A and B are shown apart, each in its own frame.
Chain A
């Protein structure tokens, strides 16, 4: 997949590019609005990561320009403003998702995957983890045909770990993903631990879960070979 990273902060752009490359994306960079405008007009992108705080250019205008040119790129708007009106305006103008700075790279990836699934109609296959089967479409997890009763939060947590399998997710990343960050002063590592504990307890009634690992001091990981 082709990604255009529109970001005036060069070092941030570099980091995002490094990360997305390691995830198999092909990345292009634009550091100014003009540059971005030109690149969108010439190249075909699947994703445009758009920082709206570009100096001397309203980043949101780029979405309109791209749409006029018939571009089908998915726009993920990145803003340090995080203001409600920006979010509303961005989505009205055809942005596909919205992410506030500072964001976790893993969260960016997860949003891109979600947008891709929606936009490019990619059907998630059911996934087998140990003795469990995760059905992403109907949002269910079952073992031996019996459905495990999970709360919405528990299921979201599990899916996030599964989609980012084999990576350690920190408690903070998990918390931000599930609860957003409107009041992240409330962030409490205990929260995630309690939910994981409950999740394990519920799953363990059906089968053991050696694949759901606690990484000491850091967070959690779903390991699948």
Chain B
């Protein structure tokens, strides 16, 4: 797993390294060849210099006619020599050989150019040589320079690759950020990403179109839910009124009254179910207003106050511990109240008589946290995943339709609040509401 902007330069680096290593394998051979050709050319040039010198000043300064029949000149380090000697053989010689010479009891390897000369009718052999050590030294130097140069090129191109790829992929990252920042297709940033890369322009455009389409479908679906709920509420309303009117009549027997009463209760369940679905659909399609500036502590206090008669009745203590006085700038107070009320009410239901429910607020990491804990029996791990799903009852102790937590979640989403649940079997459950404060 790596990002594209590192992967691309890394791949480039890899191919460069492969080619360079292949080149490095061949390098000694190439350098050797180049160096030998260079040396041989050099030897030929020296030979020409010597010949032109002889043609100017004659052979005598090198070889006095009678005293000796050979001349040899070495430079101080003995890496080069020139020798001229008389020969008896009268043939054309022009070749390069590698040979050993003994100088001051020291054997030295030379690359030597032998050349036959004919001066004043006398045959001579001219030898120009260079020591193999000096040739190899030059070879080593060439290799070193080439290596350094290659390394330099690789590093420079890697860095430029990296920088360019980063710049190139900036629009892509921007598109990814745009996608990450939204919770709903309608909030996708429709401002096109600025780039000269046509692929990204087309990606951005495709995504914007896709978001528009999804948004339209979402809205249609939500509208349908709202409309269906309305359609359902009218017949419920009719039946309810009919039953209530029946119940008022004095000519009905107690048994019939009981039946009507039961029907009303069942009808009420249907009614709350529809209302809950309607509430969620309206929350999801943002049909509620957020116009209240309200303090978190105040809402929680109100919830605690509201529910205290029930808590007192069950001998459950509600502890409040508020350490942060966060205020919502724009919120829907009654929805937030319902959300917290729902959770506190659940906490009460799950706490055995004589137990306690804790309501706390505090600031952690720039996040305002409201926590509601019970000392109940906890939620089994397998139920945690579906906790906020619709119609999944948390336990059989609840009297609701099991949609309460789904509603709480929708209200939290509506206010950009995150809900976390921590639960330990036998110890209790804590609902944490994380509110990002700026």
The reply to whether the CB of A15 lies closer than 8 angstroms to some CB of chain B is yes
Q: How far is the CB of A96 from chain B (nearest CB, A)?
A: 20
Q: How far is the CB of A189 from chain B (nearest CB, A)?
A: 8
Of chain B, the residue at the smallest CB distance from A106 is B244
- Scan residues 134-166 of chain A and give those whose CB is less than 8 A from a CB of chain B: 151, 153
A182 CA to B289 CA, complexed, in Å: 14
Of chain B, the residue at the smallest CB distance from A105 is B244
Known interface pairs A183-B279, A184-B275; A197-B244 also in contact (CB < 8 Å):
no
User: Binary interface profile of A, 162-182, with partner B (CB < 8 Å = 1, else 0)?
Assistant: 000001101010000000011
The reply to whether the CB of B417 lies closer than 8 angstroms to some CB of chain A is no
The reply to whether the CB of B268 lies closer than 8 angstroms to some CB of chain A is yes
The reply to whether the CB of A186 lies closer than 8 angstroms to some CB of chain B is yes
The reply to whether the CB of A9 lies closer than 8 angstroms to some CB of chain B is yes
The reply to whether the CB of A49 lies closer than 8 angstroms to some CB of chain B is no
* Residue contact B404 to A185, C-beta cutoff 8 Å: yes
A186 CA to B345 CA, complexed, in Å: 8
* Residue contact A11 to B242, C-beta cutoff 8 Å: yes
Known interface pairs A185-B276, A187-B272; A9-B234 also in contact (CB < 8 Å):
yes
- Give the residue of A85, A151, A183 whose beta carbon is less than 8 angstroms from that of B341: A183
Of chain B, the residue at the smallest CB distance from A103 is B237
Known interface pairs A80-B237, A101-B234, A101-B237; A188-B345 also in contact (CB < 8 Å):
yes
Stretch from A16-24, A57-65, A66-74, A123-131 that touches the partner: A16-24
Known interface pairs A84-B288, A181-B275, A194-B313; A172-B237 also in contact (CB < 8 Å):
no
The reply to whether the CB of A39 lies closer than 8 angstroms to some CB of chain B is no
Stretch from B101-109, B133-141, B205-213, B257-265 that touches the partner: B257-265
* Residue contact B268 to A172, C-beta cutoff 8 Å: yes
- Scan residues 83-141 of chain A and give those whose CB is less than 8 A from a CB of chain B: 83-85, 101-106
A183 CA to B310 CA, complexed, in Å: 17
User: Count the A-B residue pairs with Cβ separation under 8 angstroms: how many?
Assistant: 115
Of chain A, the residue at the smallest CB distance from B405 is A185
The reply to whether the CB of B236 lies closer than 8 angstroms to some CB of chain A is yes
Of chain B, the residue at the smallest CB distance from A168 is B247
* Residue contact A182 to B278, C-beta cutoff 8 Å: no
A83 CA to B286 CA, complexed, in Å: 11
* Residue contact B230 to A188, C-beta cutoff 8 Å: no
* Residue contact A172 to B265, C-beta cutoff 8 Å: yes
User: Binary interface profile of A, 199-210, with partner B (CB < 8 Å = 1, else 0)?
Assistant: 000000000000
The reply to whether the CB of B57 lies closer than 8 angstroms to some CB of chain A is no
- Scan residues 8-40 of chain A and give those whose CB is less than 8 A from a CB of chain B: 9, 11-12, 15-16, 18-19, 22
- Scan residues 379-418 of chain B and give those whose CB is less than 8 A from a CB of chain A: 399-401, 403-404, 407
The reply to whether the CB of B238 lies closer than 8 angstroms to some CB of chain A is yes
* Residue contact A185 to B264, C-beta cutoff 8 Å: no
Chain A residues near B237: list those with CB within 8 A: 9, 12, 80, 101-103
* Residue contact B275 to A105, C-beta cutoff 8 Å: no
* Residue contact B245 to A105, C-beta cutoff 8 Å: yes
* Residue contact B399 to A188, C-beta cutoff 8 Å: yes
Report 14 cross-chain contacts, Cβ distance below 8 Å, ordered by A residue.
A12-B238, A12-B241, A15-B241, A84-B289, A105-B244, A167-B248, A183-B279, A183-B407, A184-B275, A185-B276, A186-B338, A188-B310, A188-B345, A218-B261
Closest 4 interchain pairs by CB? Answer: A102-B237, A15-B241, A183-B338, A101-B237
Listed in ascending order, the chain A residues whose CB lies under 8 Å from chain B are: 9, 11-12, 15-16, 18-19, 22, 53, 80-85, 101-106, 151, 153, 167-168, 170, 172, 181-188, 190-191, 194-195, 197-198, 217-218
